[in-house]
Structures are given as C-alpha cells and as structure tokens.
Amino acid sequence: MGQRKVTARIVLHRFRGRRAESLVQIALGESAKRVHASAPVKTNTRESDYVLGTHDDEVARLGLQHRIWRSVVTDCWHRAGITHGWRVLDVGAGPGYATADLAEIVGPSGAVLGIERSARFLEAARERCARRGLTNVELREGDLMEVSLGNLGYDASWCRWVASFVSSPKKLVENIAEALRPGGVAIFHEYSDYETFRYMPVKPALESFMVEVMQSWRAAGGEPNIARELPQLLSDVGFRVTEIVPRVRTVSQRDYTWQWPKAFIQINIARLQELGRATPEWRADVLREFAEVEADAGAWFTTPMFLEIVARKE
Ligand SMILES: C[S@@+](CC[C@H](N)C(=O)[O-])C[C@H]1O[C@@H](n2cnc3c(N)ncnc32)[C@H](O)[C@@H]1O
C-alpha cells in the first residue's frame, strides 16, 4: 500500500475518533442485559484510557485479527473440551468476535458471559451477536480490576490479549479462578515474546515501532510479555497448567497473516501520535519502511509470539 493511501486512512480514522457515539453503560452485577435488548445512552469516559483505542478501525482490526488466528483458537477450544451445554466466560471480550463463535459452539443449552470495560466494544459485540441470532450470550460492562466476577461455577474461561493491558494480572487470574467450577478450564492466548515482531529484511524504523508499541503498553500500566508470568500466577491460585504451546508464524505477503501487522501498523501509528508518543517524522519513517516491505515480494514477517496456556482448576 502506498503512503498516500495510508495517510488517507489515518485522516479518516481521526475524523471518526471525534464523532460522538451513543454508548451503553451496564454496571457489572446489574440486571443481565441480553443482546437483543434496546440500550440507554450514556458516555463512557474510559474509552480514551485504553492504549489501543476503541474506535471503528480498531473494531475492524480486531475482527481481522480474530479471523487470522481463528483456526488455532477453535482447535484449542476443542482440545480443552468446550462443547454443547458449557458455560464459558469471555474475559475482556472486546467487540465480541470470539464471544459469538463460543456461543455457537456451546449452543442453546450453554451460555457465554462476556465481560468488557469498553461500552463501545460492548455495543459492537451486541450487534454482532444479534445479527447471528444468538440468544445465549450475556454481555456486561465491567472493569476486571475493580469488580469481582464472583463464584459463577462456570466450565471454562477464554482470555485473549487482555492480560497485557491490566494493571494487575494477579487480580485477573484470581477473578477467573473464583468464577470457574473445580475442574473448570482457563484458556489464555497472551504474548510472551513481543520482540519477535520483525520484518525481513530488517528495517530500523519498523524495529523501533515494535519497541515503541511495547513501551506504550508499559506506560499505560500493562506488560506486553505477560504470558511469562501466567503459569506461576495460575498455580498460585490452585490451577494445574496442562498445556503451554508457543504460537508464532513467519509469513510472506502471500499469507493472510501478513494483513495482521499491516492493519496494526496503519492504525496504531496514528494512535501513538494521538497519545503523544510519535513525531510526524518518525511516523513518516515507519510508513515509508512499511511501504518498502509491501513493495518487496521477497520480504517476510515474523509475528509477535504468544503462548496458548490451558490450566485446570483443581
Ligand atoms: C486487544 S483487545 C482483545 C479483545 C478480545 N479479547 C479479542 O481477542 O478480540 C483487549 C481488550 O481487553 C479489554 N480490557 C482491558 N483492560 C480491561 C479491564 N481492566 N477490564 C475489562 N476489560 C479490559 C479492552 O477493553 C479490550 O477490549
């Protein structure tokens, strides 16, 4: 993609970022809100806190990301035993891409509860589930650092790319432990080695982009390589870790996975500038190098490595 097209997308994203939207706020613990219910309007002040943003382009990017890793994810769910009738928690559900897939798998006799702190993402999740005719999904607004899920007796939890963004992964894991039944299974897809994000041939500005992304998450109180801490945190609260699988791909432009960093760079470079972490010069360097790898049929990309962690509550 040429730089002009990239710049046009950034301008569009900025315009969208200023647009007022109708938002829904459902406090965790309040009466359950089913996906087909109509929503009162209330502004959520937390939208701007989240380091990656919650605008329309980010919703679309999370969908792309879900499609790229979907086969790995569903294979993991099947091996972990998720099936008809199970009650599954989607922790930090975002715009609900995995939530909807989980709801289809567990079927009408099962249930999925999605917890998410962004009202904007929740609204997108509700629309998605309603479009797919799902009536076994409950979506609740809640900050996992501020509320306890309680003893729900659930069969499984799914947590993907959330632990990197919370101030206390310990609290996150404790929350999940309390919500599951004995024998319940906790599943995570979380980064362990974000530094493997690399284009070949190596490009200095794209390398610095990877470093800046990690720093921005840390500045917001998170830890990109959080998966390294999860096995210990899980065993501390009574889980037995049964499986840890590294997930990393090295791909050329012909692979669909190539679209993952492409979307991320285009959207996140603008977000970094919004956060005051990117100068126009640096942004131009990153986008120029990105245009170079796009124009190089011999270029390759290695994804930031994440761990698939499966643990059973004893
Ligand atoms: C990278 S997104 C991943 C979303 C979803 N799990 C997925 O895989 O598509 C991270 C999500 O975690 C949510 N999140 C971060 N901190 C949270 C918190 N303290 N409580 C609830 N949700 C949180 C964000 O709002 C965002 O939706």
Quick: pLDDT tens for 253-278: 999 999 999 999 999 999 999 899 99
The residues pairing with 187 across neighbouring beta strands, listed in sequence order, are 158, 310
Task: Specify the range with the lowest mean pLDDT, choosing from 54-63, 154-163, 239-248.
Answer: 54-63
Q: How confident is the model over 155-169, as pLDDT tens digits?
A: 999 999 999 999 999
59 C-alpha to ligand 1 centroid (Å): 11
Secondary structure letter of residue 303 according to DSSP? P
Whether 124 is in the pocket of ligand 1, judged by its Cβ within 6 Å, is no
In Å, what is the CA distance from 313 to each residue of 54, 114, 161, 177, 308? 33, 20, 21, 7, 17
Distance between CA atoms of 140 and 99, rounded to whole angstroms?
A: 12
Instruction: Judge whether 82 and 105 are in contact, CB under 8 Å.
Output: yes
Instruction: Judge whether 190 and 159 are in contact, CB under 8 Å.
Output: yes
- Of 88, 99, 162, the one to substitute when testing ligand 1's pocket (max ligand atoms within 8 A of C-beta) is 162
116 C-alpha to ligand 1 centroid (Å): 6
- Of 65, 116, 145, the one to substitute when testing ligand 1's pocket (max ligand atoms within 8 A of C-beta) is 116
How large is the greatest C-alpha to C-alpha distance in the chain, in angstroms?
55
292 C-alpha to ligand 1 centroid (Å): 32
- Domains contained in the chain, CATH given: 9-192+222-247+309-313 (3.40.50.150)
Q: Two tokens at 102?
A: 């989980």
* Contacts of 25 by beta carbon, 8 Å cutoff, 6+ apart: 40, 42, 44, 119, 141
Confidence of residue 46 (pLDDT cuts 50, 70, 90): low
Secondary structure letter of residue 109 according to DSSP? T
Q: What is the pLDDT of residue 36?
A: 28
Q: Two tokens at 68?
A: 């790229």
- What's the pTM value of the predicted model, to 2 decimals? 0.87
